[in-house]
């Protein structure tokens, strides 16, 4: 079996590569990444990957010729590549549209005319926009940011592939957190952990009562791997684990770092919330150790160099 992972050198891609490399039924894993985030951590360190099994292709989603060459040799595609941002940031509309919308369109067109048998696309709960009420998989998308709009448009391209020939999965991902050697420190929990550990001070926008949906990196990578080997029903799923307010996260951080200081910025502003109901349909293929947030962040803390 040959695997193609777009964005394979990123935060989630790195963890997925390490999991898939252990599978004897996989002949080759192609990491297709333009490295625009300067995310080189997959390629260094003491944990070695067999060079004959994992191959890097430096390429962009809009490089049709290069992408086609790799798709034609592939059995399964994990589409993780995206221009990403924090949930409610609203900038760089052209970049989001080019990568998340038209880049996905190019990939789905090539897959449509290939022998790919399974396609797994990471979308985002940002497609729902914002709501103080709990939303679920039946809630109609109503994106509020350029990022959310671009991911929703990307989903529309992927939906074309949902047919008997190709097992197609759309996974709407919550905010991912937790240690990886290819860290993203722009996501809220990871950012707070870095600042708490090295600055002993965090800044909170709004009054901290805004809610977000979260999922740990280990659960994401585990589910992606399990989808590869399961007969799980192709469909659209919400991939979230917990809903926390920012203040609830800060309370946990204060237990880990008792002298932690924090400042509220624009405390009088009512920040948008997004609360997503857990999609219990994924429980059967997403079995990981059930840790509370404090235990997870204590494990994270151990990975800091000092």
The predicted-structure confidence for 162-194, as pLDDT tens digits, reads as follows 777 899 999 999 999 999 999 999 999 999 999
Higher pLDDT, 295 or 46: 295
Sequence length of the chain is 306
Q: How far is CA 68 from CA 83, 96, 157, in A?
A: 21, 22, 17
pLDDT value at residue 86: 57
**Residue that has been written with the tokens 């962009």 in this structure:** 60
The fraction of the chain above a pLDDT of 90, given in percent, is 80
Structural domain boundaries in the chain? 2-176+214-240, 178-212+243-276+289-301
Highest mean pLDDT out of 6-15, 36-45, 78-87: 6-15
Task: Summarize pLDDT for 232-287 with one digit per residue, the tens.
Answer: 999 999 999 999 999 999 999 999 999 999 999 988 888 899 999 999 999 888 76
Q: How far apart are CA 273 and CA 81, in angstroms?
A: 26
Neighbours of 163 (CB within 10 A): 11
DSSP 163: B
**Residue that has been written with the tokens 């086609």 in this structure:** 68
Q: What are the b/e assignments for 62-83, b being 16+ CB within 10 Å?
A: ebeeebeebbeebbbbbbbbbb
Element spanning 254, H or E: helix 246-256
Domains 2-176+214-240 and 178-212+243-276+289-301 share a fold: no
pLDDT value at residue 233: 93
Write the CB contacts of 170 (distance below 8 Å, at least 6 apart in sequence): 121, 123, 155, 158, 159, 235, 236, 237
pLDDT value at residue 84: 82
Give the residue-averaged pLDDT of 43-70: 91
Mean pLDDT for all residues in the chain: 93
pLDDT value at residue 91: 65
pLDDT value at residue 11: 96
pLDDT value at residue 46: 79
Dihedral angle computed from the Cα positions of residues 23, 100, 184 and 124, in that order, rounded to the nearest 10 degrees: -80
pLDDT value at residue 48: 81
pLDDT value at residue 274: 96
2-176+214-240 is classed in which CATH architecture? Answer: 3-Layer(aba) Sandwich (3.40)
Higher pLDDT, 49 or 138: 138
Using the Cα atoms of residue 241, residue 134, residue 12 and residue 246 in order, give the sign of their dihedral: negative
pLDDT value at residue 298: 97
Task: Summarize pLDDT for 109-167 with one digit per residue, the tens.
Answer: 999 999 999 999 999 999 999 999 999 999 999 999 999 999 999 999 999 887 778 99
Task: Summarize pLDDT for 201-221 with one digit per residue, the tens.
Answer: 999 999 999 999 999 999 999
Q: Is the pLDDT of residue 88 over 60?
A: no
Q: Could you tell me the pLDDT band of residue 100, with boundaries at 50, 70 and 90?
A: very high
pLDDT value at residue 90: 59
Quick one: residue 101, left, alpha or beta (phi over 0 = left, psi -120 to 50 = alpha)? alpha
Domain 178-212+243-276+289-301 in this protein, CATH class: alpha beta
Q: How far apart are CA 6 and CA 13, in angstroms?
A: 8
């Amino acid at each position: 079996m040959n695997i193609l992972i777009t964005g394979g050198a990123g935060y989630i891609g790195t963890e997925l590569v390490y999991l898939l490399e252990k599978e004897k039924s996989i002949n080759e894993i192609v990491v297709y990444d333009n490295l625009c985030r300067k995310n080189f951590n997959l390629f260094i360190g003491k944990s070695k990957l067999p060079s004959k099994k994992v191959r890097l292709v430096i390429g962009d989603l809009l490089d049709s010729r290069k992408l086609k060459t790799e798709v034609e040799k592939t059995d399964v595609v994990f589409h993780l590549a995206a221009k990403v941002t924090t949930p409610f940031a609203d900038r760089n509309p052209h970049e989001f549209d080019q990568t998340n919308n038209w880049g996905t369109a190019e990939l789905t067109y090539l897959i449509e005319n290939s022998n790919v048998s399974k396609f797994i696309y990471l979308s985002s709960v940002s497609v729902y926009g914002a709501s103080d009420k709990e939303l679920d998989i039946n809630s109609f998308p109503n994106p509020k940011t350029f990022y959310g709009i671009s991911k929703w448009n990307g989903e529309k391209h992927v939906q074309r592939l949902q047919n008997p020939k190709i097992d197609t999965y759309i996974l709407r991902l919550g905010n991912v957190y937790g240690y990886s050697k290819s860290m993203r420190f722009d996501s809220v929990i990871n950012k707070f952990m870095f600042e708490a550990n090295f600055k002993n001070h965090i800044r909170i926008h709004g009054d901290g009562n805004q809610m977000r949906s979260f999922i740990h990196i280990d659960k994401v990578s585990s589910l992606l791997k399990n989808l590869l080997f399961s007969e799980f029903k192709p469909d659209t799923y919400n991939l979230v684990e917990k809903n926390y307010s920012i203040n609830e996260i800060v309370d946990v951080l204060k237990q880990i770092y008792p002298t932690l200081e924090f400042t509220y910025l624009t405390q009088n502003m009512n920040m948008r919330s997004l609360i997503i109901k857990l999609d219990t349909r994924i429980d059967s293929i997403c079995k990981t150790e059930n840790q509370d947030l404090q235990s997870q962040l204590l494990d994270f803390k151990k990975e800091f160099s000092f």
